[in-house]
Every structure is written in structure tokens, then in C-alpha cells.
Structure 1
Amino acid sequence: MTLITLKNNIKISTILLLGVILFFSCDNTETKKGRFLLKGNEKLKENDPQSAIDFYTEALLVDPDYKDALYNRGLVFQQLNRLDEAISDYSSILEKNPSDSLALFQRGVSLMDNGEYYKALEDSKNLLSLLPQSWKGHFLTGLILEKMKNYREALSEFDRSLALQPDNPEVLINKATLHYYLKEFDTSKSVLDLAQKLNPEEPNIYNLRSMLSFESKDYSQALEWIEKSIALNSKEAFFYNNRGLYLIYLGEYEKGLGDINFSLKQNPKNLYAIRNKGIYYFYQDQKDLALTYFEEVFKKDPEMDLVKEYIGKCN
């Protein structure tokens, strides 16, 4: 039902909550596995995720049950959308320690992003059982219910999460997102204002503001907001997909296509980017080609905004 993808928005906010790479004391760096872990962490700081994975793997060759290497490698796999591998690493941790809340949370997110919603819900239930006074279990449950398009129940879970930690900007952003999905735009803006006061440097705030501007057909303002998101975090591919759509609506077709293709390269399954590529071809008067993109999306998500409208325009 969204105009522009915000699934990744949720995913990224979640990773930022718990994606802290672990570092060890000087004593631990004397061990072989500890040295490999630290080398992996350094490569990650250098924005070289594949080398980081290689070093974490070396650490795991020394000790296959090395929790910190499994967790860090899982986070990198997750950020690279290699979800089956991320799930495997978190599961390895949980086999030895079923009550590891960090691994349980991240596996739940990975399962959710992999479309395994009911398995993800099992992880969120276990998290709630382990940490009944923590906001995290309700937050994860809300994220999963949102993916399942059960928006009202998801909102209730976010409210429960906020009751336990009222000043959590990530939860507020995702609550604002759900109000956006429900077309409750004024409420979305109000909640977003609260989040911005708590963390004005969070790029997802401005991404959602851009979507709200797009909804009101203020495409120039939408572009300004998404540029702010990209300035704050230039690595998120879904920001470029959003910018690509705005550029198309502003008549800058080739620039828009470049952004959309960049986003698709990072995640070829992103239905919003596939839809946006169809919109590009529609405005290039290649309606038959555009229709193939719209029909692909319609088969998988018939309720996505703009899809039916453009299918009608192509016929």
C-alpha cells in the first residue's frame, strides 16, 4: 500500500538498534581467533564487508562456536541481504544458548526480511518470554505484523514498546510509518516530529518526510528531503530508489533510472524498485515494456500503490 518502499526503512532502523560490532580487550587479542575477529572489525570500519566476512570465517575455523564471530558475521550477511547465511549464523549461536537475546532479535529480523513470518513470530514470542519488560520483543513483533500488513495490531505492539521506552526514536519512526500506510498523514507527521526531536540526525526521518511530500504531490520538496537522507547516510540503496522516483516525476528520467538501477543492483527483489522502473518506461512511451514490470509486481503485491493505476494507463 505504500508509494515508496519503507520495508527497508524498518529493516535498517532495526539493524542500527543492535548492529554494534563487538570489540575485545587487549588480553583477548593475543588469541588467534581474537586477532581474526579484530581484523574483521577493522575491515568493516574500512567499508570492506567481504574481507570482514573472510576474517570472521577464519576465526570460526579456529573455534566453530565462537559466538562473537558468528554474531558479527551474521550482521554483515544481514546488511548484505544474504539472509539465509545470517539466519544460519544466528541459529548456530542459539543452538548453544537459546536465551541469547541479541541473536534471537537479529534472527527474527532476518527471518522476517526473508519472508518467513511465522518463524520470525516464534522468535519474537521467545524474546518477549525472555525479556517481558523490554521494548525489543514488542518492537520486533510490530515489525513482523507490519510485514504481514496487519497494521492495527502492529501499531498496538509499537505502543506497548513505547510504554516501556517512550523516548525511542526508532520505534517512533516505525509508528509514524504505519500511520503513513494507513493514510493518517497528520498523525504520521506528529509522531515523526517527536522522533526528530530525539534524533535529528536519523536519515529515515527525512526519508519518511519525503514520502509524505510525495503523497501531497510536492515532488520538489520530496527530493529535498531524500537528499538530506542520502547526505546523512549515502549507503542505503532504498534512498536512491526513492530519489529515482521523485526525479522521474520531475522529468529527470535518466537520472531517475540510474538511481533505480543502483537500488535494484543491491536488492533485485525490491518490488518498489521494479515498479518504479516500469514507471520510467511508461514515461519513455515504452508501454509494453512498462506493463511487464507492473504485471510482475501485481502478481506479488496487487495492492501496491500506483500499480493498478499504471496498468490501466498502459492498456
Structure 2
Amino acid sequence: MRKQTTLLKLGVTCAIIFIISSCDSLEDKKGRFLLKGNEKLEENDPKSAMGFYQEAIALDSTYSDAYFNKAMAHLQLNQIEESILDLSKAIQFRPDYFEAIFQRGLSYLDNGEFYKAEEDADRLLSLDPNNWKSHFLAGLSQEKLKNYPEALQAFEKASAIDPSNSDLMVNQATILFYQKEYSRANEILHRAEAINPAEPNLHNLRSMILFEEKDLNGALESVDKAIALDNEQAYFYNNKGLYLLFLDKPEEGLDLINQSIQMDSKNPFAMRNKGIYYVLKGDKISALSYLEDLAKKYPDMELVQEYYAKAQAL
């Protein structure tokens, strides 16, 4: 008798739950999946987060926010192409989705699709020319396309809109570095440092300027500051490795260059630095195995032609 009563109570409870859940609106249901996904994303569990976002999309195939958040989860897993696809879906269903266009532009840059990034920058400038992100993406895309005057102008406009953003100043200084205007670059870095002395890219860029000015010890000190502030950037270790090569510490330098390659195997500057190492060691075959290909693919890269010629002369 007690068992039957329990089952009857259970049946009533299930019925009540069913009635309540059936009264939920579609917005409530998909919103709950979105929130659950966000919680997983905050817990650094992007795979589980994507499952919840997909549940939300299953309820509403035009749910732009779910596509956007799913794209952010893909980015945590370094799945750039998948992220671009989801961001494009978000934009398809909400053509004025500013943040989705911005993030897609950044993803295009990471994926080497510079002209598509430029198109997204133009789209942002049409949507909101008073937002620093519009000009920032424009500057990044023009930098990748090696249109340095246009890139500098875009970063200057972004900085005028958000003058407290030290990153925008560092980007301006980077363009000036490419143009070998080291004095102007240093002036901007000093202003940026007054705003945010803990910006690692600032110290890394300063190290690069000091290296060009033949101040190797100063370059090493600055890149060490960058690494202390952010020890997850492959190019910081690669730069330190280069400086150590020229400070007559080739084995220490090679260790750092190899560490950089393990972190980012696609960096041609690291391959150049390995080539320089082998030139310094007098190993012609190994040096040419790195520098010959780089001389063809990146003929304008600093130090490549110089050390390719030295490798050939060994």
C-alpha cells in the first residue's frame, strides 16, 4: 500500500514538473542553455559549453548569441576556422552584430585572411565610426597588408577615441618601428608606460628597438621584463634567444629559440634565428636548411639575406 502511494505521489510530481516545463517559453528554454554554456565557459570547459550552446541552437537555429558564444568556445580551443563559421552564422542572422564582426575580423587575421579582415573593418567603420575597435581592426588589417601609413593613421584614430588604452599606443609604436622611426616609437612607448607599466608587449617592443640600436644588454633586460609579465608568448622567448646569440651565448639562445618553436611552430623568425645559430657555429648545411627557404619566402625579413650570404660563404 505504501509503495502504491509513493508511486502515485511520484506521478503527481512528474505531472506537475511536466506542466511547468511545458509552460516555459522558447526564450526561457534557450536562454537557460545559453547561461549553462556561459557557466561552463567561465569554468574553462569550452567543450561542455559548446554542447549547451548547440542545445540552444537546436531550439532556435537563428539564435545569434548562441553562435557567438560557441565561437568564443572554439577560440579557447584554438579552433579558428570553426570559430569563423559560427561568427558568420551570428552575423547572418544579425547583420549589425558589432562584436561578432569584430571577433571575426580578428579571427580572419589569425587565419591569415587579411583581406577578409579588412572587409570586416570597413563594415565596422560603417556601423560605428566612433568606436575604437572599428579603427583598431582597420589598423591591424592594414598592418598585415603592409600598408603602414594607413595602419598608423587607424591606430591614431583609435587612440584618440580611447586615449587611456595603452595597447593602442603600443600598436602605433610598432608601426613606427617597422618604419625605422625608433625615436618616435620610443616617445609613444614612454607615454604608454606611464599609463600601464605592466604591459608586456611594450617591454618586448622596446627590446626590439634597443637591439636595432645595438644595445644588446638593454634589449635583454627589456625582454626579460616582458617575459616576467607574460610567460606564455612564444615570440618573447624567440627574441631573447636572438639577443643571447649576439651576446656570445649561443647554446642558451638556441634553447630559448627551440622553446619558442615548441610554443609556435609557424613563426618564421624563429627559423631565421636557428639559421643564424648554425652560421655562428660554422655549420653550413644546417644553416642553409633554414635560411635558403626563408630567403625565397621572406626576402625582406631583417637579417635573412645577411646571414644567408654568410651561410653560403662558410
Q: Same fold (TM over 0.5)?
A: yes
1:272 aligns with 2:269: yes
| Deviates most, 130-139 or 83-92 | 83-92
Q: Contact 2:47/2:73 (CA < 8 Å) preserved in 1?
A: no
Shift of 1:40: 2.5
Shift of the alpha carbon at 1:176? 0.4
Query: Aligned partners of 1:76, 1:283: CA distance in 2, in Å?
Result: 44
1:58 maps onto 2:40 in alignment: no
Which structure's relative contact order is higher, taking Cα pairs within 8 Å and 6+ residues apart?
A: 1
Q: Is the 8 A contact 2:135 2:154 kept in 1?
A: yes
1:76 and 1:244 mapped to 2: Cα distance? 33
Match of 2:218 among 212, 216, 221: 221
CA RMSD, Structure 1 to Structure 2 (Å): 2.3
1:153 to 150, 160, 168: 150
1:81 touches 1:267 (CA, 8 Å); kept in 2?
Answer: no
Deviation at 1:81, TM superposition (A): 4.8
Classify the secondary structure of the residue corresponding to 1:276: helix
Unaligned runs of 5+ in 1: 1-26, 44-51
Letter of the aligned partner of 2:41 in structure 1?
G
TM-superposed deviation, 1:135: 1.7
Work out the percentage of aligned pairs sharing the same amino acid.
Answer: 44
Q: CA contact under 8 A between 2:203 and 2:225: conserved in structure 1?
A: yes
Measure, in 1, the Cα distance between the counterparts of 2:182 and 2:247: 23
User: How far 1:75 sits from its partner (Å)?
Assistant: 4.0
SS in 2 for 1:167: coil
- CA displacement at 1:134 relative to structure 2: 1.3
Q: Give per-residue Cα distances to partners, 1:100-121, cap 9 Å, x unaligned.
A: 1111111111112322121111
CA distance in 2, matches of 1:241, 1:69: 38
1:41 corresponds to which residue?
42
> Which one of 129, 134, 153 corresponds to residue 131 of structure 2?
134
Deviation for aligned residue 1:232: 0.8
Contact 2:278 2:284 in 1 (8 A): yes
Q: Which among 287, 291, 310 is matched to residue 288 of structure 2?
A: 291
2:46 & 2:275 partners in 1: Cα distance? 35
Structure with bigger helix share is 2
Q: How far did 1:304 drift?
A: 0.5
Deviations 1:176-228 (A, max 9, x none): 01111111000000011111111111111100111111111222211111111
Gaps of 5+ in 2: 1-27
Q: Offset at 1:150?
A: 1.1
Aligned mate of 2:93, from 93, 96, 101: 96
Q: Of 196, 201, 209, which residue of structure 2 is paired with 1:199?
A: 196
- SS for the counterpart of 1:190 is helix
Tell whether the 8 Å contact from 2:41 to 2:73 is kept in structure 1 after alignment.
no
TM-score calculated relative to the size of structure 1: 0.82
Aligned length: 281
In the alignment, structure 1 residue 175 sits paired with structure 2 residue 172? yes
CA distance, structure 2, for counterparts of residue 174 and residue 309 of structure 1 = 28
Return the offset for 1:299.
2.4
Q: Secondary structure at the match of 2:275?
A: helix
Q: Deviations over 1:36-56 (max 9, x none)?
A: 43123112xxxxxxxx22122
Deviation (angstroms), 1:130: 0.7
User: CA distance change for structure 1 residues 270 and 150 in 2, over 3 Å: closer, same or farther?
Assistant: same
